[in-house]
Structures are given as structure tokens and as C-alpha cells.
């Protein structure tokens, strides 16, 4: 790609505003082109890259010259090579950079800014259509020092496909990037960043199908992973941050990064292998608990595999949760802090160990911890004897008997769609202690989007952005509605709240089915702006929902999510592995991976 043409590419949608800076010292002569031999062809980088997804010279032996723009031999077993200033092929549709595989112990050593001649075989690393054009080097010669230009981007390309023409090139981002995901920060030194604000799951806002496809393509156009140019796990230092990770600077999703520079690589999506620390980060603040009107508070909270060993201080590591007694104590303290801050009169809890209701059970232990921390709350659990269900995790309900009283009988549904995969729901009716009509709360946990290898044909991933097991979740929504219409608690009320982790985003089939059947989305009732409760792979959306029957909808005074978990790095959770001890606090932040939600009920105005 001709460097001098890049300033005009804005009109073509690339958002390029020019080029600047050198890799190394003054440019050296020679363009690397020349007559080839039968064994080795001498080519320019643009010719090796070609105009398509893969090289037109795949499998051939070639020789080329260029400037080392990213020396990542120590961290990634290779380096990036780019045409020297004035030596590109003049074709804006071809990249001027290339990844060169050169293992750690290879000689000669290279430095950023070196002019080198490289011979090797052309390869594509990665899946078809999303591979990194690579030169598997057999010989490298350092010729001296040279200069290459950084391409400056003022925005994302016009389409996701247009990233290809910049593959392997040195980029400088002259635009703010929003942190859309930090789940890989601690383990891999990665951040999902995005142009134009944070990324949203396509099916959170639009139905599956063509609208979701267009939304997904726009996400891919705006998405850019920032990588620390190392392939190991749990880096000792996040060297590219403007300040060390800390409770005061937690790098939450929604933070904004300025002054980003690196080399564009195609590896599990488009990523920038950083060459320099970022200029600065505007930290997104940790939110306080939202202020709410008076009324009965009904919360839903996925507590992330709350397992308490054998209940006697042993039995660790647990099947899914804490690895030690000490970790359980840390998990308990954060979970208790979160629940008590919500001040729920009724709380639907998910992902508790399914170990009964005895005093040593995970649920009884959590309730006891709540009441120890706040004795006047006096929380009690709804006890159905066993389960519900036989899954390793279950749902539960707790309540404050000084604020609400039980009405009717607790009920569970273990048939049909809830025999397998979906967790068994639990329903209980309540009434305010100071008077008022009864209402039913049902807590649910539908099948996750994981385990696709085990899905049958009806539940396979149909590539419609709903992932696998959609059929099982859709059946659960349909059968849940029919069950609730039969008054399972025998309370005589049609005033119902559906809560829980339905593992479906806001416009997916199970959620749309509930709306079609007459259930009212509490967050739509209050016109919540861009609600979300979970962030996966950099995309935010709602897996956790609150629906009410039409008869109860007028009494919903508020519906909020408290974003204490989804936007937080796992660095601040209860675990101890590879965590700096100063990161831990016995506070609500990163108590789980799902944000809790809360609705307030009161007499209709």
C-alpha cells in the first residue's frame, strides 16, 4: 500500500488521516524486488500479501526485504516486517506488512528498525478466511538500519473485511478506544477495545436473522483486541497500561484508552500487538448502588457457583467453586456484601451448590452469614426438602419475614423441558406483611449456551447468533408460562414475577416468546437505557431478566441492574491464583460474573 495515498483513504471509509514516525533511523536504499530463481522468487511484501484473504503465493519459497516494525521474537516467536518508506507496491488494496516466523533461539537476532532480507516459505496461520499471512523464515540477514511509516487511523474501516488490507502493518490509533471486554486481561494480557463506544451482543437489540448479522458485522468492523505481544499466561506485569492495575484503577469495561500503537495481526480476530504503552486511560468509575423509590425490593442474583465444601471446613477444592476454605471465606464476604447492599425483601439466587437445606448446606451457610452481618434482617430460605432438581447447581429463594409472609405452597417443575439441561424452577407466593395482595416469584436458570458438542440436531448452533441449545431454552419459556398459568403455588393469584438467568439475550427466541405470551419486561416498563447483566468476549447483553404478569406490571416502580460484576476484571474476584493480594476487598465488586438486578413493587399510582 502506498504510504502517500493513505491520507485520501478516509473517503473510502478507512478513517486514515496520514502517516508518521519511523521505525529506526534514516532509510536505506534498495526495494527488495528483482529477478527470481527457480527455487526462490524475490517479491515485495504487497505481492506476498495479495488482495485476498490468503496469499497468492501460498507454499512458495520467496525472498523479500523490509524494516522490522515489531520485534516479538521473545514473546511470539517472530517479528513483523514492513516496506521501507517509498518502497511499497503502490497498491492500496494490499498490505505493506508481513508476519515472519523466527523462533526465540534463532540467529541472527533482530531489532526494531533493522533492515533485513528474509527467505522462507509463504504460509497461512489460522482458519480459512481468517488466517495470518506468514513467512516461515529459513534465513534472515540484517542489512543495517532503516525506516518505515506508521499508518494513522482516525476511525475503524468501512467494513470488517477492510482490516485485511492493513494486516501486518504498523498502526497508530488517533481516536479514543472504549474497553469493551477485560476478561482476558489477567490471564492473557488482552483487552477487547472498540471504536465508537462499547460493543453489544447483536441479539440483545435486534432479532436473530439479517438484522443480527448486520449488527455482528458492524461489531467486527469496530472491534480491535489490544495484546501485550506475549503468548504466555498470567503475565507478571501488564506493561502497556498507563498505571498498574489497582482497586483505584480497576480498568472496568467502559474505560476509554487513548494513544494506542502496534502492529495489526489476524489471530482469533483482529488484534493490535502493542509496541508501546498506551498514552492514557480514562477509568470508568465503580457505580454505587442506585437510589430507588420505596416499596418491596425483589432481587435476582447469580452467585457464581457458590459451593461450601462439606460444610465442616473441608471438602476442597469444590466441584465448581472455591478451591480452599480461605477462598470460600473470600467468596462469602463479597457475596454477602453485594446482597446486603441490594437490601432485598425477596432474593432469587442462582448457581448454589445443590446440597439440600441442612445447616451445613451452601444455602443455609450463606443465609447464616447474611444474618450474622446484619442481624436485624433475619433472612430465611424457602425450603422444598431437596433440590430443586438433581443438577450440581440449583436456584433458591430467600426472604425477610419482617417484611413479607409466605402465601400458599412452594412449587417446582421437574417435568418436560426441565427434566434435563434447564435447571428446575422454584416458585413461592408472598404477601407484604403490612397488607396487600399476594404475588408469586419464580426463579429460573435456563440451559447455557455452552456444551455445543453435546447438542442434538434440534439444538445445534444454527449460526443465527443464539448459539446452541436454543430449542431447549425456547421450550422452557413456553412450558414455564403454561405452568404458571395453572397457579402452581395454589395461592389464587395471577400476579407473578419471573426472575433469573434465562441464558438468552433480549431479542432471542425464548425472550420474545415470553413477550408474545403476555409477559411484561420490567426494564422495558421503565425504559431502561441499554440494559445488560453480562459481558462475554467483549459483547454486553442481558442474560438475567425480570418479567411480570400484565396484572402486576402497573405496580413495578423501578427496575435496575447494579453493574458491580460484568464490567470488572476477574483480577478482583475471590480467587487467589495469580492475584496480587492488594486487589482483594470484601466488597461487592466482582462478587460474581453476572450483575444483580432488582425491581421495586408498590401500589399502582
Can you give the residue ranges of every domain in the chain? Answer: 23-148, 176-282, 296-601
To the nearest whole percent, how much of the chain has pLDDT over 90?
92
- CA separation for the pair 133, 177 (Å, rounded): 26
Grid cell 538500519 in the structure block, residue: 145
Rounded Cα distance between 11 and 2, Å, is 16
Phi/psi zone of residue 277: left (φ > 0), alpha (ψ -120 to 50 degrees), beta? beta
Q: How would residue 37 be classed by pLDDT, with cut points 50, 70 and 90?
A: very low
The pLDDT of residue 529: 85
Cα angle 154, 163, 62 (rounded to 5 degrees) comes to 125
State yes or no: pLDDT of 59 exceeds 50. yes
pLDDT value at residue 9 = 35
For residue range 165-201, list pLDDT tens digits in order: 999 999 999 999 999 999 999 999 999 999 999 999 9
Q: What is the pLDDT of residue 16?
A: 43
**Tens digit of each residue's pLDDT (9 = 90 or more) over 289-331:** 999 999 999 999 999 999 999 999 999 999 999 999 999 999 9
Give the angle subtended at the CA of 160 by the CAs of 136 and 281, to the nearest 5°: 90
Question: Which tens digit of pLDDT belongs to each residue from 88-104?
Answer: 999 999 999 999 999 99
- pLDDT bracket for residue 117 (50, 70, 90): very high
Q: What is the pLDDT of residues 559-568, one digit of tens each?
A: 999 999 999 9
Is it true that 23-148 and 296-601 share their CATH fold?
no
User: If you count them, how many residues does the chain have?
Assistant: 605
- Given a contact cutoff of 8 angstroms between Cβ atoms, the answer to whether 67 and 84 are in contact is yes
Q: Are strands 170-173 and 260-266 parallel, antiparallel or unpaired?
A: antiparallel
**pLDDT (tens digit, 9 = 90+) per residue, 354-370?**
999 999 999 999 999 99
Return the C-alpha cell found at 588: 461487592
pLDDT at 38: 54
Instruction: Tell whether the model's pLDDT for residue 209 goes beyond 80.
Output: yes
Q: How far apart are CA 66 and CA 79, in angstroms?
A: 11
Express each pLDDT in 357-405 by its tens digit.
Answer: 999 999 999 999 999 999 999 999 999 999 999 999 999 999 999 999 9
Q: Please say if the pLDDT value at position 35 is more than 70.
A: no
Please state, rounded to an integer, the average pLDDT across all residues of the chain.
93
Q: At what angle do helices 509-516 and 470-485 cross, to 10 degrees?
A: 20
Class of domain 296-601 as given by CATH: alpha beta
Q: How many whole angstroms separate alpha carbon 467 and alpha carbon 417?
A: 18
Q: What was the pLDDT predicted at 147?
A: 97
pLDDT at 23: 52
Beta carbons within 10 angstroms of residue 247's beta carbon: 14
C-alpha distances in Å from residue 593, one per residue of 183, 207, 391, 535, 566: 10, 25, 20, 8, 5
Determine the pLDDT at residue 11: 31
Which CATH number applies to 23-148?
2.40.50.140
Instruction: Label residue 528 by pLDDT band (50, 70, 90).
Output: confident
Query: Are residues 62 and 32 in contact, defined by beta-carbon separation less than 8 angstroms?
Result: no
Across the range 138-146, mean pLDDT stands at 98
Question: Which triple of cell numbers denotes residue 189?
Answer: 494480557
- Answering whether pTM is above 0.85, one says yes
Q: What is the dihedral of CA 161, 166, 168, 173, to 10 degrees?
A: -110
How does strand 270-274 pair with strand 114-125? unpaired
pLDDT at 250 (0 to 100): 98
- The confidence score (pLDDT) of residue 12 equals 36
Phi and psi, residue 280, nearest 5°: -165, 160
* Measured distance CA(432)–CA(411) in Å, rounded: 20
Amino acid at each position: 500500500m502506498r504510504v502517500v495515498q493513505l491520507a485520501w483513504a478516509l473517503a473510502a471509509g478507512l478513517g486514515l488521516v496520514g502517516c508518521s514516525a519511523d521505525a529506526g533511523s534514516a532509510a536505506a536504499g534498495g526495494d527488495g524486488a528483482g529477478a527470481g530463481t527457480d527455487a526462490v522468487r524475490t517479491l515485495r511484501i504487497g505481492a506476498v500479501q495479495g488482495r485476498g484473504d490468503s496469499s497468492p503465493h501460498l507454499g512458495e519459497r520467496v525472498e523479500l526485504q523490509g524494516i522490522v516494525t515489531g520485534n516479538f521474537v521473545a514473546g511470539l516467536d517472530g517479528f513483523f516486517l514492513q516496506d521501507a518508506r517509498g518502497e511499497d507496491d503502490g497498491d492500496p488494496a494490499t498490505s505493506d506488512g508481513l508476519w515472519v516466523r523466527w523462533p526465540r533461539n534463532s540467529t541472527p537476532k533482530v531489532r526494531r528498525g533493522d533492515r533485513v532480507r528474509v527467505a522462507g516459505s509463504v504460509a497461512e496461520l489460522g482458519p480459512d478466511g481468517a488466517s495470518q499471512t506468514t513467512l516461515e523464515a529459513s534465513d534472515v540477514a540484517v542489512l543495517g538500519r532503516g525506516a518505515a511509516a506508521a499508518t494513522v487511523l482516525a476511525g475503524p474501516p468501512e467494513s470488517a473485511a477492510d482490516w485485511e488490507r492493513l494486516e501486518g502493518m504498523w498502526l497508530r490509533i488517533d481516536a479514543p478506544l472504549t474497553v469493551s471486554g477485560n476478561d482476558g486481561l489477567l490471564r492473557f494480557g488482552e483487552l477487547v477495545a472498540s471504536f465508537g463506544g462499547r460493543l453489544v451482543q447483536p441479539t440483545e437489540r435486534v432479532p436473530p436473522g439479517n438484522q443480527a448479522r448486520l449488527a455482528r458485522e458492524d461489531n467486527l468492523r469496530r472491534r480491535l483486541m489490544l495484546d501485550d505481544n506475549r503468548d504466555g499466561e498470567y503475565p507478571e506485569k501488564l506493561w502497556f497500561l498507563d498505571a498498574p492495575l489497582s482497586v483505584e484503577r480497576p480498568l472496568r469495561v467502559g474505560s476509554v484508552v487513548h494513544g494506542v500503537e502496534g502492529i495489526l495481526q489476524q489471530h482469533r480476530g483482529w488484534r493490535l500487538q502493542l509496541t508501546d504503552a498506551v498514552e492514557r486511560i480514562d477509568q470508568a468509575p465503580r457505580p454505587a448502588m442506585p437510589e430507588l423509590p420505596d416499596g418491596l425490593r425483589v432481587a435476582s442474583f447469580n452467585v457464581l457457583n457458590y459451593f461450601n465444601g462439606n460444610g465442616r471446613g473441608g471438602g476442597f477444592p469444590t466441584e465448581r467453586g472455591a478451591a480452599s476454605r480461605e477462598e470460600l471465606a473470600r467468596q462469602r464476604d463479597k457475596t454477602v456484601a453485594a446482597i446486603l447492599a441490594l437490601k432485598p425483601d425477596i432474593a432469587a439466587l442462582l448457581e448454589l451448590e445443590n446440597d439440600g437445606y441442612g445447616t451445613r448446606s451452601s444455602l443455609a451457610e450463606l443465609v447464616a452469614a447474611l444474618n450474622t452481618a446484619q442481624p436485624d434482617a433475619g433472612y430465611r430460605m424457602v425450603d422444598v426438602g431437596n433440590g430443586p432438581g438433581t443438577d450440581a447447581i440449583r436456584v433458591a429463594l430467600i426472604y425477610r419475614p419482617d417484611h413479607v409472609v409466605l402465601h400458599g405452597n412452594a412449587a417446582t417443575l421437574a417435568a418436560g423441558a426441565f427434566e434435563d439441561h434447564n435447571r428446575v424452577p422454584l416458585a413461592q407466593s408472598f404477601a407484604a406483611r403490612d397488607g396487600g395482595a399476594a404475588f408469586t416469584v419464580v426463579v429460573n436458570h435456563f440451559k447455557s449456551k455452552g456444551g455445543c458438542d453435546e447438542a442434538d440436531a434440534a439444538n445445534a448452533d444454527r449460526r443465527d447468533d443464539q448459539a446452541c441449545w436454543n430449542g431447549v431454552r425456547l421450550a422452557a419459556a413456553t412450558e414455564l408460562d403454561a405452568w404458571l398459568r395453572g397457579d402452581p403455588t395454589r395461592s389464587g393469584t395471577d400476579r407473578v414475577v419471573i426472575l433469573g438467568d434465562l441464558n438468552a439475550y433480549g431479542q432471542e427466541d425464548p425472550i420474545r416468546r415470553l413477550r408474545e405470551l403476555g409477559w411484561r419486561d420490567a426494564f422495558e416498563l421503565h425504559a431502561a437505557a441499554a440494559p445488560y447483566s453480562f459481558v462475554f468476549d467483549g459483547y454486553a447483553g442481558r442474560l438475567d431478566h425480570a418479567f411480570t404478569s400484565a396484572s402486576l406490571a402497573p405496580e413495578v416502580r423501578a427496575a435496575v441492574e447494579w453493574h458491580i460484576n460484568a464490567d470488572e476484571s476477574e483480577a478482583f474476584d475471590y480467587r487467589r491464583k495469580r492475584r496480587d493480594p492488594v486487589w482483594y476487598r470484601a466488597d461487592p465488586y466482582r462478587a460474581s460474573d453476572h450483575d444483580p438486578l432488582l425491581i421495586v413493587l408498590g401500589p399502582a399510582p
